[in-house]
Structure 1
Amino acid sequence: MKAAPVSLMPHRFFRLLTVVWVGSLLTIGYAVAPVLFTSLDRISAGAVAAQLFRIEGVLGAVCGILLLGLANVLVRRGANAYRQLRWLIVGMLVCVLVGYFALQPFMNAIRIAALQAGTDVGHSAYATRFGVLHGVSSLFYLIESLLGVALVWKLPAGAGIVAAEQQGTARDAAGKVAG
């Protein structure tokens, strides 16, 4: 098996990180979580879903930071197709940071308080507050998902990107020689 040219590797790594992040986001949020709530009791399903969303939050933050850094490197190398993708990544990162690192801790605290009171969150005094936080969190998750689908849709085609990058590098080199 022949190794890919070095110039293709950053593009392939970008694509891999994108599909891992968006694929896990869509799978957990729209396939796994609904199955949990139809298969298990609400308390167990909520506990498992919370763990899965915790993993998804960390995965999203890591992939988002790596993608943003990689997009910046690619843009500096002349792959301008990644310029607008950075905004989608920033939007997704904001959603994951707000959803997981700002809203989830409050939701978990409410869930724990309800369990300590001897009931599930849906039947506790905290039900309304939890419902509002859950709704806001779901909205951020939906926005992150839509931005993720747009990111996958707008991913540059492989070979054309390398050619454009090489042309950009050649132009930069010619400009430096002429100037």
Structure 2
Amino acid sequence: MAGRLPAARLLVAALWAGALWVLGYIAAPAVFGSAQGPVAGDIVGAFLRRLAWISMACSALMLVLVQVSKDLEAGRRRFLQLLVLAMLACALVMYVGLQPAMAQMREAAGPLGIRASPLWTKFAILHGVSQLFHLIESVLAAVLLVKSR
């Protein structure tokens, strides 16, 4: 079992990183490139909710794998734990804070859509902050992938 833990850590890190990268840099841009306005936002919003759950599951699994891994010295174990917690924090900020606030603004904007609303500037700022958190989590995922084995 102990010999398989590095491979298990790498597999979970790859799943997590892959989900982040595919959604953020392939799926979401493709949806916004082919669907219009609120429909695209609804689709990507659904993807992001699922991604948040993937992030929570992967972080829990990674924390357990890191904790039970006897092949990791204390400093490396602590680094990986902090890395996973930082990634989880990014996911939770987006899922619990930014996404609900943006959804409320889209709903409050009414049938003309968020771009025609006085809430557009605030929405655009929150969207940019959300993209920044996704970028940070994506970069941390690359580090996790490299350091997990």
Give the TM-score, by structure 2 length: 0.91
Amino acid at match of 1:66: L
Deviates more, 1:81-90 or 1:17-26: 81-90
Q: Which amino acid aligns with 1:34?
A: P
Taking the aligned partners of 1:136 and 1:39, their CA distance within structure 2 comes to 24
Q: Secondary structure at the match of 2:108?
A: helix
Q: CA deviation at 1:123?
A: 1.4
Q: Which residue of 2 aligns with 1:130?
A: 123
Alignment match, 2:98: 103
Q: Note the 1:25-64 alignment, pairs <5 A.
A: 25-64=20-59
Aligned length: 147
Whole-angstrom distance in 2 between the partners of 1:91 and 1:109 = 26
TM-score, normalised by the number of residues in structure 1 = 0.77
Residue deviations 1:78-108, cap 9 Å, x none?
Answer: 4224432222111101100111111111111
* Cα distance in 1, alignment partners of residues 111 and 71 from structure 2: 59
5+ residue gaps, structure 1, are: 1-5, 157-179
- Cα distance between partner residues in 2 of 1:103 and 1:73: 34
Partner of 1:85: 80
User: What letter is aligned with 2:78?
Assistant: R
Q: Which residue is 1:145 aligned to?
A: 138
Q: Structure 2: 5+ residue runs without aligned partners?
A: none
Aligned to 2:114: 121
Alignment partner, residue 171 of structure 1 = none
Taking only the aligned residue pairs, the percentage that are identical comes to 35
Who is 2:61 aligned against? 66
Mark the structure with the bigger radius of gyration: 1
Question: Match of 1:9, as an amino acid?
Answer: R
> What one-letter code is carried by the residue in structure 2 that aligns with 1:84?
F
Q: Deviations over 1:56-82 (max 9, x none)?
A: 0111011112211221221xx242244
CA distance in 1, matches of 2:22, 2:71: 34
